[in-house]
Chain A
Amino acid sequence: MWQYFLRRFIYMLFTVWIISVITFAVIQLPPGDYVTTMVSQMIQSGMDDLPPDFEAQIRAQYGLDQPMYVQYGKWLRNIVVEGKFGYSYIYRRDAKDIILERLPVSFAISAFSVLFVWIVALPIGIYSAVKQYSKADYFVTFVGFIGLAIPNFLFALILMFISYRYMDRAMIGLFSQEYETAPWSLAKFIDLVKHLWIPVIIIGTAGTAGLIRTMRANLLDELNKPYVDTARSKGLPERVLLWKYPVRHALNPFVSTIGWILPSLIAGELIVSIVLNLPTTGPVVYNALLDQDMYVAAGIILILSTLTVLGTFISDLLLALLDPRLRLQ
């Protein structure tokens, strides 16, 4: 057992390290660096008379004139030794601070979305498996899939526009202005819920389709198994028959893959957050990538990846604890 644990742990560290290298390399791919972006921005704003040596000078001040492996080494050293994820040129703070500020919101929205997905997808999945090929089956799957089919960004804009047209106030961000800086209260929570439904529906509906499909397929598999026949032949009522074992069994496979949900939720969240102006990690990554604020971009990607790897690691461990056969593999 311990050997298995140790081996998996070393694999995990190795994976995270590779991810850090890839991330850092990919982030550096686009031409130019933060100084390029900054100078572009200044010129765009009208400052066309920058001294010729301006760029080089700032680059030196930021240490951006050093070779990439030196920058990578520094970055990794700071993460490991000081727990700093790199300095953000946009925010002029450590990337960790920004990530810590924004990650909870990302998680909260993701959590609500997962909840929404489950509430919507499981009944639809079960229903459509039981009533396979009926009109009702087609209808519920159609409803379940429609959210996936609408491009997220458009869905967000349309819902936002509808809220402006028919509620007189566009539901942008997480809070109304008056609650934005106010301390927590019931009213603030209600305000939050009022705003939260838009992102949750958009991110959620994009994920329901996959879950409906898995649920439906798993359940159909289960229902074809001999024990169901046996149970039925023994006169067990259909309802009990369905819920007692097949549904539970059908749920199993995707409980174990829940770790993989995070990256896809983050991806979905990114676009929705840009349109809806949500203070999540998505827009920060997006800006950081566009403006070449590389430490923030690399830092957030690394953290999210690590969390995913960690999630799978833990779920693997739990599985191993439950199922001794796995340890031997």
Chain B
Amino acid sequence: MDVTLHDTTPEYDSPLGGNLPAAETEDELRLEVATQWQLMWWKFRKHKLAMFSAGIIILYYLVAIFAEFFAPWERTQYIADYVYAPPQPIHFFADGKLDLHVKALKFERDPQSFKKIWEIDEENKIDVGFFVKGADYKVGLHWLPIPYINDLYFTTDRHFFGAKDPTQPMYLMGADKSGRDVLSRLIYSTRISLSVGLVGVVISLILGIVLGGLSGLIGGWVDNVVQRMIEIVMSVPDLPIMLAIAASVPLDWSVERVYFIITILIALRSWTGLARVVRSKFLSLREDDFILAARLDGTPQRRLIFRHMLPSFYSHIIASLTLALPGMILGETALSFLGLGLRPPAVSWGVMLQETQRVAVLALYPWLLWPAVAVIIIVLAFNFLGDGLRDAADPY
């Protein structure tokens, strides 16, 4: 991990490669003078799947931030006659011309089982389009519970996509048990579910670096105490403990506070790993040549830590955090499954998936499983991104 330059050509692209060096001198030169971050970026680019995943993740976060814009409907909007309506297929042409539209649905109810038998209402064509007009709404960062920052928004009445008449049914992913649009709710839920991960990561980052750092730098009894703490946290099965704490959340707490406590809970699962990484890094760095050199130069302790030691493993921290994120997203859904996570009226992936925990849903309304697809994609994306970052973290 030292920053001295190698003489040999890095072999990262062909670890077993029989076809060795022959690298162009220009390329070699480039490598010699590149900064650490440049090297990492070059290396990261090689992981195509990670690149692709990064794109997906950016897309997810954009959707989360501008949910109001992307969602065709408000999250509580519903049509009573469309309870459990199947997805309406989207049609691109009408009368041989390009004409985006969906067809309305109608149903008859079986008198015995009360099952709805759906039929496409061919007469009733609903035009859909991009940048359609709806009710006024705020878009931006107004939903953040942070003063000043939540003033950053603007008001508009345009939606990215939707029915031209906003009162007409358009259920591209079907409707849920209350006749609400699954797609719109899915888009809204992205916001909570993705930010749970982010906030959780920040918390575990702080805990991990502070405790791991103290442990590695000071050593002695501090190290011992922190080590015991880590041991305890890692030994106690986390789920039961989370259950107990989640069950004790005071009932008069608002959705935001419940959200916050759940984030902390989820973060508590993952800081130990980070703390161990940080600790061992500090331990090994203490002995390292370049640190020794800096110390002999009379560099103050604070500068030593923040200028020399920490930067040398930022990349590792970022990689482990990225890999911790999907666990947190899944943790949120698991808590909801156990009935101890977020509760309606909050909309998160966990809340939405909680309603799919039924045989009846699998058998009769499988479109309610779309949130699961969203979860699977983002968890995979974070994993691949994390892998790419980890590979890139050690570019030499």
Contacts and interface: CB of A to CB of B under 8 A. Distances in A.
A289 B244 contact: yes
Interface string B33-76: 00000000000001111000000000000000000000000000
B330 A151 contact: yes
A217 B231 CA distance: 24
Interface stretch (B23-31, B300-308, B355-363): B355-363
B181 interface: no
B387 A148 contact: no
Nearest to A144: B383
Contact of A18 (B228, B376, B380): B228
Contacts of A304: 236-237
Interface string B238-264: 111101110110000000000000000
B189 to A, nearest CB: 14
A169 to B, nearest CB: 14
Q: Chain A: interface residue count, which band?
A: 35 or more
B274 interface: no
Contact of A145 (B15, B357, B380): B380
A297 B376 CA distance: 32
Interface stretch (B105-113, B158-166, B333-341): B333-341
Contacts of B11: 224
B234 A22 contact: no
B375 interface: yes
Interface stretch (A45-53, A87-95, A263-271): A263-271
Interface string A307-325: 0110010000000000000
Nearest to B229: A18
A262 B293 CA distance: 43
A263 B247 contact: no
A23 B372 CA distance: 33
Contact of A22 (B232, B333, B362): B232
A209 B383 contact: yes
A271 B237 contact: no
B334 A152 contact: yes
B376 A150 contact: yes
Q: Which of A148, A151, A216, A271 has the most CB of B within 10 A?
A: A151
A26 B232 contact: no
B240 A270 contact: yes
Contacts of B357: 153-154, 157
Interface of B: 11-13, 15-16, 18, 46-49, 228, 231-232, 234-241, 243-245, 247-248, 323, 326, 330, 333-334, 337-338, 353, 356-357, 359, 362-363, 369, 372, 375-377, 379-380, 383-384, 387, 390-391
Q: A-B pairs with the 9 shortest C-beta distances?
A: A29-B248, A149-B379, A267-B239, A30-B247, A308-B235, A30-B248, A223-B15, A149-B376, A305-B235
18 contacts: A19-B235, A29-B247, A30-B244, A133-B13, A142-B380, A148-B330, A149-B380, A149-B383, A150-B375, A154-B357, A224-B11, A224-B15, A267-B238, A270-B240, A274-B338, A286-B240, A289-B244, A308-B234
